[in-house]
């Protein structure tokens, strides 16, 4: 049995729990509360920025030019591509995608935990650990989308048709297969301790994928103490803060205000990178 297959087997109960989670069942049935969708997209936008950086750190630790190219291409696809599922979610919620993206949202505890997990593995771990830490993200979404297709054959009028088609696509499956192959190759040349660390990174990401859906569904936020940040003077050319929050006041929020109960934090007054 390949290394990736053995990890997948160990994580089977987590994959099953994710499938049964009300967020995922809501996706399958085409029924999710608006505020849940908006909370998810606000958090996931930031998750994807972190994920992109983790690919960048994998690129920096690549052993071959082929691996470098693979991560380079993945970064490109991620920057352009994952808009489709987010736009689909926002359209169902009756909210403008741009407005949701622009509205300030503090990383919820689980999203914060997941981001820190990936970044710490990316900073401290081997290339094998980085591939292991990002793999559940890809594997779980492809599995969910394919299971929805197999079980309910959604038609084009399914509210989440674009989301489902995006993750069930051949392109996504090919990207998943490429990561699995890379993990197996890296595991083949790893010692026992390295393989253990890869497994541990993989299983923690699986657990955090479950928690991420749960965070969205329960509208999880830091309670009861909002964190406050000092005002920071604007930087000349920066126009976006990655990961923590975007500038809150630019976009028209008329269609999202009041839906998500997002805490208002002091505006940064400019942009600060992470």
Ligand X SMILES: Cc1ncc(C[n+]2csc(CCO)c2C)c(N)n1
Selection from 63, 30, 55 nearest residue 179 by Cα: 55
Helix 22-29, helix 192-217: angle, nearest 10: 70
> Tokens standing for 181?
């192959």
Stretch that binds ligand X, among 17-25, 43-51, 125-133, 219-227 (CB under 6 A): 43-51
- Does 209 participate in catalysis according to the annotation? yes
| Shortest Å, Cβ 265 to ligand X | 22
224: cis peptide before it, omega within 30°? yes
Where does this chain touch ligand X (CB under 6 A) — which range of 4-12, 75-83, 99-107, 266-274? 75-83
The answer to the question of residue 209 lying near ligand X (CB under 6 A) is: yes
User: According to the binding rule CB under 6 A, does residue 74 interact with ligand X?
Assistant: yes
Tell me the closest approach of the beta carbon of residue 192 to ligand X, in angstroms.
29
Nearer to ligand X, 26 or 175 (CB): 175
Residue of the chain from 14, 15, 42, 44 that contacts ligand X (CB under 6 A): 44
State the DSSP string of 95-137. Answer: --HHHHHHS--PPPHHHHHHHHHHHHHHHHS-HHHHHHHHHHH
Catalytic residue among 35, 129, 137, 206: 137
Residue identified by tokens 């505890």 is 109
Contacts for 50-54 with beta carbons within 8 Å, 24 or more apart? Answer: 50/115, 50/118, 50/119, 50/243, 51/78, 51/118, 51/134, 51/137, 52/78, 52/79, 53/119, 53/122, 54/118, 54/119, 54/121, 54/122, 54/130, 54/133, 54/134
Q: Which of 57, 62, 68, 77 forms a contact with ligand X (CB under 6 A)?
A: 77
Give the shortest CB-164-to-ligand X separation in angstroms: 13
133 is a site residue for ligand X (CB under 6 A): no
> 167: buried, middle or exposed (CB in 10 Å: 19+, 13-18, 0-12)?
buried
Give the contact letters, 78-97, x = binds to ligand X (CB under 6 A), - = no.
x---x---------------
CB of 88 to ligand X, least distance (A): 12
Pick from 106, 86, 113: nearest CA to 208: 113
Report if residue 40 touches ligand X, rule: CB under 6 A. no
CB of 231 to ligand X, least distance (A): 31
Query: Does residue 52 carry a catalytic annotation?
Result: no
Residue nearest to ligand X (CB): 137
CA–CA distance, 68 with 120 (Å, rounded to integer): 20
Q: By CB under 6 A, how many residues form the interface with ligand X? A: 14
List contacts with ligand X (CB under 6 A): 44, 47-48, 51, 74, 77-78, 82, 137-138, 141, 175, 209, 212
Residues annotated as catalytic are 137, 209
């Amino acid at each position: 049995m390949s290394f990736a297959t053995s990890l997948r087997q160990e994580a089977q109960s987590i994959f099953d729990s994710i499938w049964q989670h009300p967020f995922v069942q809501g996706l399958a049935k085409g029924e999710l509360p608006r505020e849940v969708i908006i909370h998810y997209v606000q958090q996931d936008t930031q998750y994807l920025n972190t994920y992109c950086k983790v690919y960048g750190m994998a690129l920096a630790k690549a052993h071959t030019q082929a691996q470098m190219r693979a991560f380079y291409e993945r970064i490109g696809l991620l920057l352009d591509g994952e808009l489709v599922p987010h736009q689909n979610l926002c359209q169902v919620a009756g909210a403008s995608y741009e407005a949701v993206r622009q509205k300030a949202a503090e990383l919820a505890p689980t999203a914060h935990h997941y981001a820190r997990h990936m970044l710490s593995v990316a900073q401290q771990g081997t290339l094998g650990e980085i591939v292991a830490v990002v793999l559940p993200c890809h594997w779980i979404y492809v599995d969910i989308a394919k299971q929805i297709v197999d079980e309910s054959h959604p038609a084009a009028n399914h509210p989440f048709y674009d989301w489902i088609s995006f993750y069930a696509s051949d392109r996504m499956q090919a990207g998943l297969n490429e990561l699995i192959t890379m993990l197996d190759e890296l595991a083949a040349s790893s010692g026992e301790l390295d393989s253990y660390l890869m497994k541990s990174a993989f299983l923690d990401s699986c657990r955090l994928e479950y928690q991420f859906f749960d965070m969205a569904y329960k509208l999880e936020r830091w309670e009861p103490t909002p964190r406050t940040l000092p005002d920071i003077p604007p930087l000349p050319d920066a126009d976006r803060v990655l990961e923590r929050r975007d500038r809150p006041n630019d976009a028209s929020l008329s269609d999202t205000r009041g839906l998500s109960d997002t805490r208002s934090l002091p505006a940064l007054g400019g942009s600060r990178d992470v």
